[in-house]
Amino acid sequence: MSEARRQHPVTILLYFLRQMKHMAIPFLVFVISVVADGGSLPPWYLMVLVFLGMVVVNGGIAFWRWFFFHYAFRDGALDIKRGAVLRRQRHIKSERVQTVNAKAGVLLRLLGLVSLSIETAGGTEEPEVTIHALTHDEANVLEEGLRGETEAVSTEEKGNAIEITFPRLMLAALTSGGVGAFVLLIFAVFAQVVFFIPDGLLQEVGENIVAAGVMAFVLLGFVLFLISWFLSVVRYVFRYAFFRVERVNGEIHIEHGLLVKRRFTVKTHRIQALSVVEGLLRQPFGFATIELEVAGGGKYEDSFKVVLFPVLAKSEIQSFLDKTLSEYALNFTLTPLPKRALRRYMVRIHLLYLPLIPLFVFFPLTMLLLLLVPMTTLLAYMRYKDGGVAVEDAHLVSRSRYIARTTALMHKNRVQALAIQRNILQRWRKLSTLQSTVLSAPSKTTFQVKDIEETQGERVYKWYSRHA
């Protein structure tokens, strides 16, 4: 690949479709707005001409971008040249490359192609270079060259691949906890569409629901929940189907995806922390998700979190880490929070009800929100009960809960900053808050445990301050 070459010609179509999508949405919003306001649209032939103009312009731009984009790999470095009027040239040495991630949507998979994203230590949210369409052979050669792989990997090093089974995938999908996001999405879509619904129809439907009474609202909420849950399960299955993780030559290789196939590599020395996340639906059954905080490069996943494995039984985590990340396969005993911290957890969560008191006075129906008090009380107790800290040799372990219970394992040399905070009330109760910060994409992640024993906070601070 030392000679300069262009991407696969299907890149022209990919560029074209992306640009048409960006222009089509404002165009459709304009058409719907005109119709909703009772206005008249331009003549059909004029709209056809506008559409054809968009096709010609975007097609020309797509061809231009493809034709003047060249790449070559020579002498252990990737050279990128792009543009005609404004000429840009990039030279990326393989030692600067942090990750080389592959992705293939439906169209690329049908054509046997793949998109390659190259990320360096200086990257932020977006990859430094993306080559949108390559054959698998070209992608493999380029990927191995950028990772500095000159020798074949031995069979012993490639024999520890772990794959997710279909029952585990369905269990992970059903307990993913993504229902809330889809409920908000449905409300957001409804808020945009409601303006285009005739007032008469909207009023009639509202009156029928009110006339049906409380059961209608309950049934409507239940249906909304089922739809959101179904969409959440489908999205999760499509995203994490065929999940496969393997450690090879000091790197973690991860593949997953049903329609859009994703493959990316994480260098183990870039891993800053490992998190064991137990959601409310998974914890009672003894299951958890393993996530990684990784420094350098752009976003590995849409949520910036690297999922090392979607769902594991807690009894399986130790053996799983022995095969993939033995550096974090620790046996530790957490020091729980002192009993006097429970009151602070209870007070903090119930202070959220204070701003609602005026609503209770002027709108008595809002007092139904007080039915949530038992739930928030239980959540406060769970936050107190699950909190804890441990120091094991060169590792710091902290456990806390917001909604899900998260146990974070950090190597001492990976902790960028460690802070012990005490406000006036904490000093009176001899408590403190521990904050440990690690680098992560796109910036940093802070793990916090509130109201630990004051003396324990001092011990952790001294442990971190000592040179080792």
Q: What is the pLDDT of residues 16-40, one digit of tens each?
A: 988 888 777 777 766 666 665 556 6
Residue 435 is predicted with a pLDDT of 93
- Could you tell me the CA-to-CA distances from 199 to 41, 192, 195 in Å, in that order? 22, 15, 9
Q: At residue 222, does pLDDT exceed 50?
A: yes
Residue 217 is predicted with a pLDDT of 67
Q: At residue 253, does pLDDT exceed 80?
A: yes
> 193 or 178, which is more confident?
178
Highest mean pLDDT among 79-93, 188-202, 392-406: 392-406
pLDDT in tens, 121-142: 655 555 668 888 888 888 888 8
Residues 360, 373 contacting (CB under 8 angstroms): no
Q: At residue 11, does pLDDT exceed 60?
A: yes
What is the C-alpha separation between 185 and 208, in angstroms, rounded? 25
- 3-state class (DSSP) for residue 272: strand
Residues 72, 4 contacting (CB under 8 angstroms): yes
What is the overall mean pLDDT for the chain? 82
For 116, counting Cβ atoms within 10 Å of its Cβ (0-12 exposed, 13-18 middle, 19+ buried), the class is: buried
Q: At residue 354, does pLDDT exceed 90?
A: no
DSSP 174-225: HTS--HHHHHHHHHHHHHHHGGGS-HHHHHHHHHHHHHH-HHHHHHHHHHHH
Q: At residue 252, does pLDDT exceed 70?
A: yes
Residue 156 is predicted with a pLDDT of 41
pLDDT in tens, 192-206: 555 555 666 656 666
Stretch 54-82: mean pLDDT, rounded? 88
Structure tokens at 454: 């004051």
